[in-house]
Chains A and B, each alone.
Chain A
């Protein structure tokens, strides 16, 4: 048996592919870990429950994601090797597997990222609301967290070909509800902020000017995006900018 024939042997090629796959998989895992660390992912996920669970299991989020990419490549290598060695000689099976593995990989990745984003958002939102000393407000971070998780789960399930139509309908209803309620509740804020932007850019009146808006007259003390504060002798009016446009501005000239 000469050298050339030995190399052409399917088992040898399969072994080579397998070895190459393991090396590449390991290197990609390492590279991913370095990249994720350099990108500051480790600090970004710090303090989230997901990271804490990972820590208690003796690993970390960065390591998990890096290892996931390694496993993905190991899996491909093993399957390719099996195919070359013709140990599993069913093309149908092969096709299905090659179609499915990347999807599974993406699904797991989406779940991990979804969990982290949900946890992180929960932290950020609860931090934002910490100044508000109202116990009921504690529900908002939870709602945000589970909304993000829900979306992540729907995406992940769709990746692995589970029928998610019903879940999608639920999501649409939920999102539409939020949008409708939001626009209704924040309509005045939207109008006021649009006017506020105009007031800040064009400054028809500035701090120190004496103006009258509708019934209220006084010296402008503050203009921000939502309200204008004007002060009379012993009264201070906080006027929504929306009203400034409705009523018009009257600048009072000094005598």
Chain B
């Protein structure tokens, strides 16, 4: 076996195996692997694995996907700083087709996992809003790129640090992100300026809010506009996180505590 000699380096003496969204039968094959820990990473625990790390999104970028998985594993204590993992994931097709050798490094923590798991709003809500922003970025409003700002969580405080720009279309309504009709509504309302305010449990509290946080000490990259500044500042001033879709470069960015935690290109999904 010549190939094993060459590629053997990739999976020799690893501490654990991380399977990214494995199929049931694929996972079974690892069941009687005694000397290694098997960690399953994916959007859903379809195989009923014992150690499971949930991905908030089916990350298109493999490096991002693996980084998030490792960060989640470190955070949960499933893997330790310095462990070497063989990460099996899919790059081209539906099934697992790639193995890469990665060293879990506690230093490079970006807070990506914290953004979902340790934020005030529920992870499903953040996930739904992020998906919404990505979809909005992909399609735009009638073909034209749109910008949008979603402030998620700590809604009471956010409401007290903002004022209405117009009548609130969500007044006395009880819609939640993830409800089927909501995506269309939000798309329509994103035409007007202002932020969407969403509560911890995902209720859409208001649209057309003008945010008035104190922008002291918020440091965002130069070149980003007022929308990003407002989003960054409100996430620093309250316990909310903000998800911003940029009108100019089309990227979706998530802010927590005034810092950019996540930057994704909607086109990549």
A interface residue numbers (CB < 8 A to B): 200, 203, 206-210, 218-222, 224, 230-231
Known A-B contacts A221-B199, A222-B201; the reply to A208 vs B172 at CB < 8 A is: no
Which one of B94-102, B105-113, B151-159 contacts A? B151-159
- B209's nearest neighbour on chain A, judged by CB, is A208
Q: How far is the CB of B85 from chain A (nearest CB, A)?
A: 27
Known A-B contacts A207-B156, A208-B160, A231-B156; the reply to A222 vs B174 at CB < 8 A is: no
Interface size counted on chain B using CB atoms at 8 A: 14
Name the prevailing secondary structure of the B interface residues.
Answer: mixed
CB <8 Å contact, A222 and B200: yes
Q: How far is the CA of A54 from the CA of B102 in the complex (A)?
A: 49
**11 A-B residue contacts at CB 8 Å?**
A200-B174, A207-B155, A207-B203, A208-B155, A208-B159, A208-B160, A209-B156, A210-B160, A218-B156, A219-B156, A230-B156
B interface residue numbers (CB < 8 A to A): 154-160, 172, 174, 199-201, 203, 205
Q: How far is the CB of A27 from chain B (nearest CB, A)?
A: 41
CB <8 Å contact, B205 and A208: yes
Q: How far is the CB of A162 from chain B (nearest CB, A)?
A: 44
Number of A-B contacts (CB under 8 A): 38
Task: For the A-B complex with A208-B158, A208-B205, A220-B156 known, give 11 more contacts whose Cβ atoms are closer than 8 Å.
Answer: A203-B172, A206-B205, A207-B159, A208-B155, A208-B156, A219-B156, A221-B155, A221-B156, A221-B200, A222-B200, A230-B156
5 shortest interchain CB distances as A-B pairs: A208-B159, A219-B156, A221-B156, A207-B205, A207-B155
Contacts of B199 in A (CB 8 A): 207, 221-222
Contacts of B205 in A (CB 8 A): 206-208
- A230's nearest neighbour on chain B, judged by CB, is B156
- B200's nearest neighbour on chain A, judged by CB, is A222
Q: How far is the CA of A210 from the CA of B157 in the complex (A)?
A: 10
- B158's nearest neighbour on chain A, judged by CB, is A208
Contacts of B172 in A (CB 8 A): 203
Contacts of A209 in B (CB 8 A): 156
